[in-house]
Structure 1
Amino acid sequence: MLKVLYICVSLFVSILVTNVWLFRFDKETPYRGGNATNMIEEFAVYGLDTNMLYLIGTLKIIASVGLIIGLFKTKISVYSSLLMAILMTGAIYFHFKISDPAIKYFPSVLMLFCSVLIYLSSKRILKTN
């Protein structure tokens, strides 16, 4: 049961994060910080430049790919989920910094929760193998 949950949650996080950063990058969503209508505007609202935008985006895609690889090499999931959790903590911080309503940071909280779940599950799976 743990392995099935681990697989499902890993796929969920990886697909959602990849979707946001590769396919919805320039699209308006109800979850963008402030009044931003795309990712570049959102980072500007947070006071971050485009270099930081592309660094964070690259790290999130690396973590997402790592979660998929982690389905076959569990140890990779430990590091990928930890990286994703750190990045989501940062996202939540910036939503709070600009006083966004809860609906705007809900996806980041959900991804943080899922990343922690993946981290704990992967550690447990490694112990039992």
Structure 2
Amino acid sequence: MEYVLLAMKLIVSLSILNVWLIQYNKPTRWRGGNAKTIVQEFHVYGLPTWFCYLIGMLKIGLAILLLLSIWYPELAQPSALGLSVLLIGSIIMHLKIKDPLYKSLPAFVFLSLSLIIAFYPF
């Protein structure tokens, strides 16, 4: 199970870092509404640009902490729970604008993995 947990941490953290650092200004099929960038996606949700940057900093920071939890297990639960809260927000925003359900799928998958990581018995 240790390798499965390691894989889950890598999948969640690297995927979030990919979205916020590499795919930031690129269109993907998962963006809310017809947004081409993350900032546009936040505008589609009716949220200001500064909020996008705040959420981005939180997600990047928590993803890095989740990566560090590979070596410092005590970081796993707080970082995974923090990401879970933000991912619930992502799902709510997709539902708010009546996106097709498939656009919420990545957030739902990462939420599920984050909750498993957070509550895995150490």
What is the TM-score when the length of structure 2 is the normalising length?
A: 0.98
In structure 1, C-alpha distance between the alignment counterparts of 2:107 and 2:7, rounded to whole Å: 18
Which residue does 1:60 correspond to in 2? Answer: 59
* Misfit runs of 4+, over 2 Å: none
Which residue does 1:29 correspond to in 2? Answer: 28
Which residue does 2:112 correspond to in 1? Answer: 113
In structure 2, C-alpha distance between the alignment counterparts of 1:40 and 1:73, rounded to whole Å: 33
Gaps of 5+ in 2: none
In structure 2, C-alpha distance between the alignment counterparts of 1:42 and 1:68, rounded to whole Å: 26
1:67-106 matches, cutoff 5 A: 67-106=66-105
Do residues 3 (structure 1) and 2 (structure 2) align? Answer: yes
In structure 1, C-alpha distance between the alignment counterparts of 2:20 and 2:50, rounded to whole Å: 15
Q: Give the partner amino acid of 1:91.
A: S
Q: Give the partner amino acid of 1:60.
A: K
Which residue does 2:44 correspond to in 1? Answer: 45
Gaps of 5+ in 1: none
Count of aligned positions = 122
Percent identity between matched residues is 36
Q: Give the partner amino acid of 2:76.
A: S
Shift of 1:86: 0.3
Q: Give the partner amino acid of 2:81.
A: L
SS in 2 for 1:77: helix
Shift of 1:72: 1.0
